[in-house]
Structure 1
């Protein structure tokens, strides 16, 4: 008999609070820029609000659907993601910006397929890992097939190019395989084989190489390659313990590039201070821990891998964003889940949380 318990209300509350805070901070960080660019200070606020409503609707639908239904969609969904990744290069359908082709436009709506591909890979791997069980230690059946699927996705991502999404997908896949029991020697071999290729991708591309040098010493070029991280440091530094107050930040006034997207956490640091940074970091940590607990309590392997993969993705993206804006990792465009402006990212994240809540509803034992 199907078990129907209570949802993990902590995960639900954290997702709602973070999303609502994100809508507020998107407005705070973008209103002046939106007024100058679009003659409408509410431009990004209105759009992010619509994305949030759509995301909440999908989350509500997903959390009330038995996650086992998703097993039948795992392969078709991944196949659809591959088609969308290829569609970004089609004239008239794909959109380019800043030298990258990462979006498609359907019915007047821009979609970033790489965000869907992250969820697609997790869903596929959860389904496949649960089905293989004892074969996971086999090189032929338990490692190489996933490397081939991953290589196909990375091929399209590197063509766009989107190295950040490619690395994220690679890390998620490897950790899920490790948790499933794949032999350590396979990981070490893969790392040895891919390290020269990764070095080539970074050091032979001018803007990526300059980002590495800027990360090592941003003060060598403070008005160009080091400008973004220096402005981010200034934002955190001027925020102090409790911040300058919501809406009172100065770095967003055309000093801090991408203030409402990749560097929104810097605006939070300036306006809400260390207290705000600490609370948001703690909220992400708690959400990931509750997600892992839901994975441990799931009644079947598919649910365990699915919940763990979603929790891992949210935690990894948050950690990388935190590290980038604080200068602990080289600058790379990667949205902060729930908080950064972006429709596909927010909607996909909330959909994933809905799936995670569905798993938590079926938890074994006394609940979580």
Structure 2
């Protein structure tokens, strides 16, 4: 009779840092969305209720994937990827919903969701499966790398067609990180970087999207045009600056009163800095650092290549998106709308990221190291 293998415990530090970020997010979404809730919905609790509901579903998803053998995702990768791509194509059907000039949502009547979040996770799972099957061919451009780039191109192309350059960059960076870890040639890496740089330059200077160029020029000196193009960056810096070391106090932000656009989403880190101060903002950064560190540790120590690449993709996605959000809020990079994982308002994003952490926690159960 075969001896039953005892299940290892999941990585506790990873789980705790994730849950703390979600709790901080719920509190800060409530605080930063109160004025908008009162003005638009005559209900200050509107955004809080939706975020709590999403966090509940996200927690259930996290527990499910934490106990779902991640290796089974490899067999299901084709199905998952097709479903994610089809969800993105729904944008171009009558179900597609346009908000603030961008068609990025799918309206099912009883709820709306952003397919880009589903595409991100689906692409990571599918590419991890592909690369683990083609590990001997990844250094060959035509047989290994080129088909992988087709996967990257399809995924990023659908998101770019939604006029979402920041998410396109985030996903492209994530998938290329996985290619690098899988063992692609450094010469191929440099070639990809040049192509990506040229593509980014074309996207920014495109005549159809002049607002992107305005964002770049305003970033160079936001105070030169602080009433128009530099408004977001200036108001964000005001929020961070007025917070000082200890902050103005929870709920006492001034910039959330319609100075910063979507303070509960794209600029939530600025409200954290204003209300909780430098120490509050630093706490959030430390929690992200802990999450990323444990994720990297899992990726380095898992013996299965699929698990390594899957963990790499999840960690790279969280890292890149967090850096872009904090970089925008602190005016280190040009302004662009991208939420802070686990913290910003957004049901689809929260559920998908908590699902991704669940997968990462399951991978950690197969790592022969201390998980405390």
The verdict on a shared fold, with TM-score over 0.5 as the criterion, is yes
* Partner secondary structure for residue 92 of structure 2: coil
Matched, 1:227 2:231: yes
Structure 2 gaps, min length 5? none
* Partner secondary structure for residue 134 of structure 1: coil
> In the alignment, what sits opposite 2:77?
74
Query: Residue 367 of structure 1: CA displacement?
Result: 4.7
> In the alignment, what sits opposite 2:282?
278
Looking at structure 1, the residues matched to 369 and 18 of structure 2 have their Cα atoms a distance apart, in angstroms, of 24
Cα contact 1:3–1:362 (8 A) shared by 2: no
* Partner secondary structure for residue 103 of structure 2: strand
Q: Which of 39, 43, 48 is matched with 1:45 structurally?
A: 48
1:77-112, Cα deviation, whole Å (9 max, x unpaired): 111111111110112x11111111111122511110
Q: Which of 165, 172, 190 is matched with 1:188 structurally?
A: 190
> In the alignment, what sits opposite 2:222?
218
> In the alignment, what sits opposite 2:211?
207
Looking at structure 2, the residues matched to 195 and 117 of structure 1 have their Cα atoms a distance apart, in angstroms, of 23
1:107-142, Cα deviation, whole Å (9 max, x unpaired): 511110111111111111111111112211111122
1:321-348, Cα deviation, whole Å (9 max, x unpaired): 1111000011111110010000111000
Looking at structure 2, the residues matched to 33 and 107 of structure 1 have their Cα atoms a distance apart, in angstroms, of 22
Q: Which of 236, 248, 251 is matched with 1:247 structurally?
A: 251
Question: Which 10-residue stretch deviates more, 140-149 or 184-193?
Answer: 184-193
> In the alignment, what sits opposite 1:116?
118
> In the alignment, what sits opposite 1:163?
165
Task: Give aligned pairs, total.
Answer: 367
> In the alignment, what sits opposite 2:10?
7
Cα contact 1:100–1:160 (8 A) shared by 2: yes
Question: Which 10-residue stretch deviates more, 188-197 or 335-344?
Answer: 188-197
Cα contact 1:243–1:270 (8 A) shared by 2: yes
1:6-28, Cα deviation, whole Å (9 max, x unpaired): 10011111111110110110010
> In the alignment, what sits opposite 1:59?
62
1:130-161, Cα deviation, whole Å (9 max, x unpaired): 11122111111221111111111222212111
- Cα distance 1:43–1:72, how it changes in 2: closer, same or farther (>3 A)? same
* Partner secondary structure for residue 134 of structure 2: helix
- Cα distance 1:261–1:200, how it changes in 2: closer, same or farther (>3 A)? same
* Partner secondary structure for residue 342 of structure 2: coil
Looking at structure 1, the residues matched to 237 and 64 of structure 2 have their Cα atoms a distance apart, in angstroms, of 40
Looking at structure 1, the residues matched to 357 and 196 of structure 2 have their Cα atoms a distance apart, in angstroms, of 32
Structure 1 gaps, min length 5? none
Cα contact 1:11–1:287 (8 A) shared by 2: yes
Query: Residue 366 of structure 1: CA displacement?
Result: 4.7
What does residue range 288-307 of structure 1 map to in structure 2 within 5 Å?
A: 288-307=292-311
Query: Residue 193 of structure 1: CA displacement?
Result: 2.8
